[in-house]
Every structure is written in C-alpha cells, then in structure tokens.
Structure 1
C-alpha cells in the first residue's frame, strides 16, 4: 500500500489535512457499488495527529478507502484564531469528507476524538452508519483535570510502548501548551455519556484492557447508554490501543462494520 495522499481542505472556515488512501474502483473488494463506497474515517484525540493512527490506517486501507484527518490546530495544520468547540470539529469533519465526495462512512475516534465522532454522528446521522469510540473520554466519575492527568501519566509510564510515547509526546510539543489547554477545557466540559444516548447508529466502545484513562466501568457504561452499543477490550495494551495493537483493532472495526469477512483478513504483528 502506497503512502496516503495529503490533502489540505478548508471547511467550516478552518483548514485541516486529510490523509487519503483510496482504492481504484476495479480493486474494490465488494461487488455492490453502494457498499464499496463506504469508507472509514479516523480521528485523533487532544494534542495528537494522524501519526499515531498510521498503523491502523495502513491495515484498513488494504480493503477499504481510509481517511485520517489532522483537525484544525493539530499536527501541521494552521491554528484557528479562537478555541473550537466539539461541534466545530465535527462540522469540519463532515464538511471535509463531503468535499472529497465521501458521503457515507464508518467514523472512528480515539480519546477526545471519540467526542468529535459522537457529535458528527448527531449532526448528520444519515451519513454515519457505524461509530467506533476508542479509549473514550471523559469518565463522568473522574471529571477533574488532575484525575485525567494522573491517568494519562500512569498510562505512559506503565502501559505504552516507546514508539507510542514518542509519537504522542512529539505531537504534544507541536500542538503547544496554549492550544492544548484551551482544547482541554472543551474536552472536560463535553458530556459524552449524555450525548451517546442520542446516537442512533451502532456504537462499538473499544479500549485497551490496561487503559487507566478509559476504564472498564466507564466504557461499559457508555456501551450500555448507546441505543445500539457494545464494548470490546483488547488485551495487553493501554490507551493508545490503535498503535500498539493495530491488527486487533483493525479486525474489530472491520468485523463490527461488516467491511470484510474473516477469510480475507490475515493478522499482522504489532511492533513496538
């Protein structure tokens, strides 16, 4: 699979980057054209970028059109003049994908990205038939910045690989403390557990079994609150599950959304 194309897109008054892996129509894995058009869109969390989604992106792109987005203010994108609400990011995602002609897609969000994809599913439910929340935030029983910081610190020290830590920390540096803290306030105020009750699409809540940020109790509660929710734990990893266990996460997403059969999938190793 070749490297994804980077496309700069302005939508809803903001500029972001979309990393696109699109399969030639002749190689589409599904005979039905409507099903073949169903894509997967990957959304990062606070302070991060598409870089910690690369392994998952590459695996998914083997059988389905796959897009990763660097949202405005993150990665190498321009910084917006004002703090963006969760709804603003969701509007950007939907507008950017519409410009690319992707009208229906499975949406996958990690950490704060789970808030963005939840909001996108509420804004335009007809375009999003499946929602995946990976390591979702913020646990309604641990709603202080101190609690979230402690959980993230424990995760990086005890449960992350050297490569996942390196990617996350360098992205945090690129994001910068000012924008991170502005966005942190938005993240802490978003009531994920209330919003998920209105999502009509099937929802998969996926977590690393050792994740101290998205606990088992919190993830199970979200799955139960979603009208069509289920939960899955991936063993042997923490919060950045999509990097450290990319093969298992790719299998979970494709099975959940019916994107390919088990016979067409061969698990690959997940290097550190």
Structure 2
C-alpha cells in the first residue's frame, strides 16, 4: 500500500485511518462541540469543501474516501454501506460525539447509510444534490446529466473536478457502477434524525421531483433549494448553502 499524502487541504490537521486494505484520510479544522462531517461526491475529495469548511461553525471533519482524493486505492472499490462503516469505525476510534453528516452527491448516499447503520454516531443529516435518481439509474443517463451540468459550471470548478477525477484512478468506472447500483430510496425512510435535502435550482442530475421524493421519504426531512446553483451546490459558491445549513442546525 502506498503512503498517503497527508498535506492539509483545508488548513487543518490530517491523519490516515486504516482498516484492512482501506484508508480513510481525515482532516479536522475549526473548533467547538458541534462536529460537522463532510463527505465528498464521486471522483472528488475533501479539497472541494475548502470554502464550505471556512463558513461552517464548529469542528469540521472532512474525509477522502478510499480511492479518492489523497486516499490510496483499496483492493476493491467500496460499496456505500462499506464507506459508511469505515467512517463509523473512525468516529468510534476517536471518540467523536454524534456528528452532523453533510454528504454531497455520492457522499449523500454514504451519509444516509451512516445515519441508518450507525444512528448513535449521527445527530443530523444534510443530503446535498442527492444521487442516484431512481428514475434514471443508468450509467449513460447519469453521465449525460453530469455533462449537462458541467457545461454551466464556473471553469475553476471544472478544473478542480477534472483534477480530482484524475486522482480517482483507473477504477473510476467500477466506482461509478457501485454508486449507480446503490438504492438510497430504500434507506431514506429509515433515517431517524432531522435531515435537510439541498438542491441547486439548476441541477439536472437531481430533478425537483426526485429531491422532493427524497425529502418526503425521510420522517424528519425538509427540502431547500439554492438559487442559481447546479449539481455542485456547495462547491462553486458555498455561502448560500452554508447559511442554509446553519439555519437548519439552529432549528433542531
């Protein structure tokens, strides 16, 4: 196994948590008793949350899932439940109190699994640009939607995204398949904590009908829309999303 790069991406302290062939890169920044756990999307890494992390109040914990960002490739790409179990093992090993888990895109699937499989570890959930739309669960269909979204994104976001996808390595197709194969709609009804579903108003990957169904499926779910954003919701301009997340947390 290669030695992971522990260079800070958010200006915090970075550690590696290893279990079996899987390595989770964890960066902590900020302070306070409230812990916010950031889980990135497909092909991304914790670096995309640099602006969001600065805008959130509390201790921010951002991860690179195995095979993404600076985390080495595992023997096989992890499933969404396996990602959630690995994060839970890290939280347990560090004695971290219950977290607000904020998952973007594929990270929302991991966040949902964490909340259901390890409810003692989760205080609240934020599902930003939740995938995968049950009405379009095909690799080609999802790919076309991502391309449509990319066409309207700030070039700086595109460059960052391309860099992270290249870092995701040769197994990206298998990782896409693991994402598309997951059935988050079977998980949502079992989330027992307050949950905010965030959608960018211009997001073609997560249509309004789908995100409304996600919020409706969660017993304590609520839906909010960020004007002018696409699928990148919290990456291009993190301010509105951070404000909405803080408002949500203040009310629970």
My pick for the range that moved more, 14-23 or 130-139, is: 14-23
- Residue 97 of structure 1 and its aligned partner are, at CA, apart by 2.1
Q: Please give the alpha-carbon distance, in whole angstroms, between the structure 1 residues aligned to 2:24 and 2:190.
A: 28
Pair 1:200 & 2:218 matched: no
Alignment of 1:212-223 (within 5 A): 212-223=204-215
1:122 corresponding residue in structure 2 = 116
Q: Please give the alpha-carbon distance, in whole angstroms, between the structure 2 residues aligned to 1:13 and 1:194.
A: 28
2:125 corresponding residue in structure 1 = 131
Q: Please give the alpha-carbon distance, in whole angstroms, between the structure 2 residues aligned to 1:11 and 1:81.
A: 12
Q: Which runs of 5+ in 1 are unaligned?
A: 29-35, 261-272
Q: Please give the alpha-carbon distance, in whole angstroms, between the structure 1 residues aligned to 2:244 and 2:95.
A: 26
Alignment of 1:8-27 (within 5 A): 8-11=16-19, 14-23=22-31
- Residue 131 of structure 1 and its aligned partner are, at CA, apart by 0.6
1:266 corresponding residue in structure 2 = none
Pair 1:182 & 2:178 matched: no
Q: Please give the alpha-carbon distance, in whole angstroms, between the structure 1 residues aligned to 2:18 and 2:54.
A: 25
Pair 1:162 & 2:155 matched: yes
Give SS of 1:69's match: strand
Q: Please give the alpha-carbon distance, in whole angstroms, between the structure 2 residues aligned to 1:13 and 1:22.
A: 30
Q: Please, what is the CA RMSD of the aligned residues? A: 1.6
Q: Please give the alpha-carbon distance, in whole angstroms, between the structure 1 residues aligned to 2:45 and 2:190.
A: 28
Give SS of 2:44's match: coil
Deviations 1:114-145 (A, max 9, x none): 11010000111122121100111110111111
Q: Please give the alpha-carbon distance, in whole angstroms, between the structure 1 residues aligned to 2:11 and 2:79.
A: 31
Asked if the contact 2:149/2:203 (under 8 Å) is kept, the reply is: yes
- Residue 12 of structure 1 and its aligned partner are, at CA, apart by 5.9
Asked if the contact 1:12/1:92 (under 8 Å) is kept, the reply is: no
Q: Which runs of 5+ in 2 are unaligned?
A: 1-9
Pair 1:150 & 2:158 matched: no
Q: Please give the alpha-carbon distance, in whole angstroms, between the structure 2 residues aligned to 1:19 and 1:83.
A: 22
Q: Please give the alpha-carbon distance, in whole angstroms, between the structure 2 residues aligned to 1:192 and 1:111.
A: 12
Alignment of 1:1-272 (within 5 A): 3-11=11-19, 14-23=22-31, 28=32, 36=33, 38-60=34-56, 63-158=57-152, 160-176=153-169, 178-258=170-250
Q: Please give the alpha-carbon distance, in whole angstroms, between the structure 2 residues aligned to 1:259 and 1:80.
A: 39
Give SS of 1:116's match: helix
Deviations 1:8-36 (A, max 9, x none): 1124652121110142xxxx4xxxxxxx2
- Residue 101 of structure 1 and its aligned partner are, at CA, apart by 2.4
Q: Please give the alpha-carbon distance, in whole angstroms, between the structure 1 residues aligned to 2:120 and 2:251.
A: 18
Asked if the contact 1:55/1:243 (under 8 Å) is kept, the reply is: yes
Residues 7 and 124 (structure 1 numbering): CA distance in 2 closer, same or farther, change over 3 Å? same
Q: Please give the alpha-carbon distance, in whole angstroms, between the structure 2 residues aligned to 1:70 and 1:131.
A: 18
**TM-score normalized with structure 1 length:** 0.85
